[in-house]
Amino acid sequence: MALPIGQPAPDFKLFDSEKNEVKLSDLQGNNVVLLFFPLAFTGTCTTELCSIRDSYNIYEGLNAKVLGISVDSLFSLDKFKKEQNLNFPLLSDFNKEASVAYNSLYEDFAFGMKGVSKRAAFVIDKAGNVQYSEVLDKASDLPNFDAIKETLATLN
């Protein structure tokens, strides 16, 4: 279930692939796109994040910071980020706290895995409120990037 529009976004404190602590509340004053994804090195996740990489200038032009979040370790995310030349931070939600707070966690996933992030997208405005919320049940589906960009355009 997606988070309600207009409510304050749940804060989190996670580490990125460069071992830097990232707190959502520290990004207030910026529009933020949160992209939860199931697992690094998988086909749809690679497609999703590389499409963001290839159009990152559009998100910058819309005054947005993009953050990718998965339950992978920060070490796996570092390797994935380098291999794919990703130009935005990847955050490790290894303890699954952010995924739970954003209602974006599969209890059961493929191959018997439990506790994997669902593919989800959120736009958080400069005041820290949710302005777009999409949680996908099928891991093979991609977020609606056009709707994300349209939401960002209304915030500027």
Domain membership flag for residue 9 = no
Domain membership flag for residue 66 = yes
So which residues are the catalytic ones?
45
Domain membership flag for residue 60 = yes
Name the average pLDDT for the chain: 93
Domain membership flag for residue 2 = no
Confidence of residue 9 (pLDDT cuts 50, 70, 90): very high
DSSP bridge pairs for 103:
none
Strand residues in the chain grouped as ranges (E): 13-16, 21-23, 31-36, 64-70, 90-92, 105-108, 114-117, 120-124, 130-135
Domain membership flag for residue 85 = yes
Domain membership flag for residue 5 = no
CATH of the domain at 117: 3.40.30.10
Domain membership flag for residue 114 = yes
Q: Is the pLDDT of residue 108 over 80?
A: no
DSSP bridge pairs for 8:
129
Span 30-85, pLDDT tens digits: 999 999 999 999 889 899 999 999 999 999 999 999 999 999 999 999 999 999 99
Instruction: Give the number of other CB atoms < 10 A from CB of residue 71.
Output: 24
Contact 92, 72 (CB under 8 A): yes
Give the mean pLDDT of 76-101: 97
Domain that holds residue 103: 30-155
Spatial neighbors of 102 by CB under 8 A, at least 6 apart, are: 3, 10, 34, 36, 120, 122, 135
Give the mean pLDDT of 5-32: 96
* Number of structural domains in the chain: 1
What's the predicted TM-score (pTM) here? Answer: 0.94
Quick one: pLDDT at residue 93?
97
Measure Cα distances from 61 to 58, 100, 137, 148, 152 in Å: 5, 31, 30, 13, 10
Confidence of residue 110 (pLDDT cuts 50, 70, 90): low
Q: Is the pLDDT of residue 137 over 90?
A: no
Quick one: pLDDT at residue 97?
97
Domain membership flag for residue 3 = no
